[in-house]
């Protein structure tokens, strides 16, 4: 079990944002507060006057909202902005100790839990590199991890607003290499009940690729590119689609399932994309060459023959992904495709470079091709995205939040 504290968040400081807008709908005070908090978050430090300009809310409304946020300890006053005529204006900023959340990622090759503050900074991270962990093992790990993080006293339990859990939709069904028969128990597990009284409630459960995409939207490149496709490379292969700043689920909640696309190639026996483009597939290729490894970090320390296997896997994966991503560009027209997950960053960069080369060679065939790049929150993306879910539910603006407050 690996324990790291004060891990820096993967995303860079968000850019200044001018597309936020409040609403004057009746009984929408909660949504206006969310918009105001978001404006403070993405701008770093900001005055009340600038908040009114950015959100479109009146100065009295901004005054009332910021007073509430100060009382709730979610923002702090940083001093006065000087250099202008008249009384210097006070600057407001997010209070990093104002609220926290827990994010848990359950996958076939590891279990990871993070504690995140409201600014998106990961305060603690604990991971267990365990293959096909059963529910009892996950519960034991989560309980121990929570106790360990609280012992560090970096945050109080009373400041935790909830827990997000990210896991594949078909965790107990996909037949990956070396999957034990007992792993099918995940098909019958109620994750909320399993973790009740173990992790802080409320507990919000999400698909792992969706959580990663939501995290990228709120704290990563999605702040600049609010329409994108997220490609999650983990033990399997997942995808998530964000359109105009909102995660798109589809009619049955299964949008973005790129891993299930059929694959026909003489270079692989795989019949689905995720059976070839995934860490599980890469580990199997290495095992065939007597280079056994099952941990992402080991991929960077292989000998020459091992590295040759990885290089060939990257080349093949780029070929296998080219047509699916061309289809994504044609059908959705995203601003970009972001790759995240467990694949080490420098290998993600190599894959993105290969993909961009292949996509550019097809530029004359389609109207517009989205560039491919490493996600800002690539490592631990599902766990971090899971930790964002309570913030999105309680504090951050979204279309669903507006619908909730408008329907009251």
More confident residue, 186 or 78: 186
Looking at the predicted structure, is the pLDDT value of residue 190 above 90?
A: yes
Residues 34-72: pLDDT tens digits?
999 999 988 888 999 999 999 999 999 999 999 999 999
The full set of domains in the chain, from first to last, is 2-6+99-213+382-394 (3.30.420.40), 29-97+399-406 (1.10.10.10), 221-376 (3.30.420.40)
List, for residues 244-253, the tens digit of each pLDDT value. Answer: 999 999 999 9
Residue 272 has pLDDT above 70, yes or no: yes
Percent of the residues in the chain that have a pLDDT greater than 70, as a whole number: 88
Tokens of residue 133, six digits? 């962990």
Q: Give the pTM.
A: 0.86
Please state, in angstroms and as integers, the Cα–Cα distance from residue 165 to each residue in 22, 72, 114, 188, 390, following that order.
30, 26, 11, 16, 10
Question: Does position 27 have pLDDT exceeding 50, yes or no?
Answer: no
CA 396/CA 382 separation, integer angstroms: 18
> What is the pLDDT, as a whole number, of residue 230?
98
Name the packing angle between helices 59-71 and 48-55 (round to 10°).
120
Return the SS3 of 244. Answer: coil
Could you give phi then psi for residue 320, rounded to 5 degrees? -65, -30
For the ranges 3-17, 80-94, 248-262, the maximum mean pLDDT occurs at 248-262
Q: What is the structure's pLDDT at 78?
A: 87
Query: Are 166 and 215 spatial neighbours (Cβ–Cβ below 8 Å)?
Result: no
pLDDT at 20 over 90: no
């Amino acid at each position: 079990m690996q324990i790291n504290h004060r891990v820096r968040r993967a995303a860079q400081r968000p850019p200044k944002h001018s597309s936020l807008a409040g609403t004057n709908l009746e009984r929408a005070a909660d949504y206006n507060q969310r918009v105001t908090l978001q404006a403070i978050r993405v701008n770093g430090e900001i005055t009340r006057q600038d908040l009114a300009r950015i959100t479109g809310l009146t100065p009295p409304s901004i005054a009332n909202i910021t007073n509430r946020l100060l009382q709730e300890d979610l923002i702090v006053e940083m001093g006065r902005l000087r250099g202008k005529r008249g009384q210097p204006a006070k600057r407001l900023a997010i209070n990093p100790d104002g609220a926290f959340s827990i994010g848990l990622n359950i996958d076939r090759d590891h279990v990871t839990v993070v504690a995140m503050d409201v600014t998106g900074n990961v305060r603690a991270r604990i991971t267990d590199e365990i293959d096909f962990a059963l529910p009892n093992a996950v519960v034991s790990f989560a309980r121990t991890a929570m106790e360990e993080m609280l012992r560090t006293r970096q945050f109080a339990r009373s400041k935790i607003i909830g827990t997000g859990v990210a896991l594949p939709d078909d965790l107990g069904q996909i037949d990956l290499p070396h999957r034990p028969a007992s792993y099918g128990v995940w098909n019958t597990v109620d994750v909320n009940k399993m973790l009740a009284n173990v992790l802080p409630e409320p507990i919000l459960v999400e698909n792992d690729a969706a959580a990663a995409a939501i995290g990228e939207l709120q704290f990563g490149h999605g702040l600049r590119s609010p329409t994108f496709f997220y490609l999650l490379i983990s033990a399997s292969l997942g995808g998530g689609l964000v359109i105009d700043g909102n995660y798109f689920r589809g009619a049955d909640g299964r949008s973005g399932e790129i891993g299930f696309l059929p694959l026909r190639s003489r270079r692989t026996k795989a019949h689905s994309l995720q059976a070839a483009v995934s860490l599980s597939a890469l580990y199997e290729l290495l095992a065939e060459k007597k280079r056994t490894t099952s941990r992402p970090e080991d991929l960077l320390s292989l000998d020459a023959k091992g590295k040759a296997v990885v290089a060939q896997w990257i080349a093949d994966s780029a070929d296998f992904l080219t047509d699916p991503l061309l289809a994504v560009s044609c059908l959705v027209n995203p601003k970009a495709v972001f790759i995240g997950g467990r694949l080490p960053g420098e290998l993600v960069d190599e894959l993105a470079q290969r993909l961009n080369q292949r996509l550019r060679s097809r530029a004359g065939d389609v109207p517009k091709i989205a560039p491919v790049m490493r996600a800002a929150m690539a490592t631990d993306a599902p766990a971090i995205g899971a930790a964002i879910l309570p913030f999105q539910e309680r504090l951050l603006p979204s279309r669903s939040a507006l619908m909730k407050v408008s329907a009251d």
